[in-house]
């Protein structure tokens, strides 16, 4: 069984505690206090309990602290995966959405996520999960608003004639 990972020696326990007092990030403060306990000779299990973590997590933070110092103890949030559509493809998709579907070509009277998924696969060769299509639409500035369905064979003249002959309420 391997021994404990050595903690870098350029920070003493009191310096780590001062850094913990000076930070506004509670997670970083907990990690610094755990490392200060390790520096003072506490067992890794006890030091991990001080920071509210297990020994393996403390080991990971020791590696990050050794590599980057106190700045390595901050959470590193990621922005997520990179969009698989290029900027031109996103622009083309946006124009396609604004223009609406062609019933003869696309076979639908309004866009649904599953339809846009199919169109993106056919035109751009990019496959997304149906649920991710709504994330992509939100990124493009569209919100989920469903229009009232319209039958493609409805006659506006008949509808107007019906409105004029209906009794006033």
Cβ neighbours, 10 Å, residue 59: 14
Residue 129 forms part of a structural domain: yes
Q: Which two tokens stand for residue 78?
A: 């990621």
Q: Does residue 22 fall inside a structural domain?
A: yes
94 and 64 within one domain: no
Q: What DSSP string runs through 72-101?
A: GGS------PPPSS-HHHHHHHHHHHHH--
Decide: 121 and 108 in contact? Cβ < 8 Å.
no
pLDDT of amino acid 1: 41
Q: Which domain holds residue 55?
A: 13-73
Neighbouring CB atoms inside 10 A of 106's CB total: 17
Domain count, the chain: 2
Structure tokens at 4: 């404990």
Is residue 38 domain-shared with residue 69, that is, in the same domain?
yes
Distance CA 31, CA 46 (A): 13
Count of other CB atoms within 10 angstroms of residue 16: 23
Is residue 101 in a domain?
Answer: yes
Whether residue 166 is contained in a domain is answered as: no
According to the model, what pLDDT value does residue 155 have?
87
Whether 140 and 92 map to the same domain: the answer is yes
DSSP character at residue 71: G
How far is it, in rounded angstroms, from Cα 154 to Cα 131?
32
Residues 65 and 114 in one domain: no
The pLDDT assigned to 17 comes to 96
Whether 112 is in a domain gets the answer yes
Cα Rg for the chain, rounded, in angstroms? 30
**82 within some domain:** no
What the block records as the tokens of 51 is 């920071």
Q: Is residue 100 one of the residues assigned to a domain?
A: yes
Blockwise average pLDDT, block size 10, the chain, 169 residues = 78 96 95 96 94 95 95 87 91 94 89 94 94 92 78 84 72
Q: How far, in whole angstroms, is CA 44 from its chain's centroid? A: 34
Q: Are 70 and 17 in contact (CB under 8 A)?
A: no
- pLDDT of res. 4: 74
Q: Specify burial of residue 103 (Cβ count, 10 A radius: 0-12, 13-18, 19+).
A: exposed
In a domain, 51, yes or no: yes
pLDDT of residue 2: 59
């Amino acid at each position: 069984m391997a021994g404990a990972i050595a903690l870098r020696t350029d920070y003493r326990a009191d310096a780590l505690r001062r850094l913990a007092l000076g930070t506004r990030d509670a997670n970083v403060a907990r990690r610094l206090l755990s490392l200060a306990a390790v520096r003072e000779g506490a067992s890794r299990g006890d030091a991990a309990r001080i920071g509210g973590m297990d020994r393996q997590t403390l080991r990971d933070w020791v590696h990050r602290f050794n590599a980057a110092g106190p700045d390595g103890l901050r959470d590193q949030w990621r922005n997520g995966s990179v969009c698989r559509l290029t900027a031109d493809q996103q622009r083309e998709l946006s124009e396609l959405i604004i223009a609406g579907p062609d019933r003869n070509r696309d076979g639908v009277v309004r866009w649904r996520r599953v339809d846009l998924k199919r169109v993106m696969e056919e035109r751009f060769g990019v496959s997304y999960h149906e649920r991710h299509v709504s994330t992509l639409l939100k990124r493009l500035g569209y919100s989920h608003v469903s229009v009232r369905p319209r039958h493609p064979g409805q006659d506006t003249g008949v509808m107007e004639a019906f409105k004029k002959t209906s009794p006033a309420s």
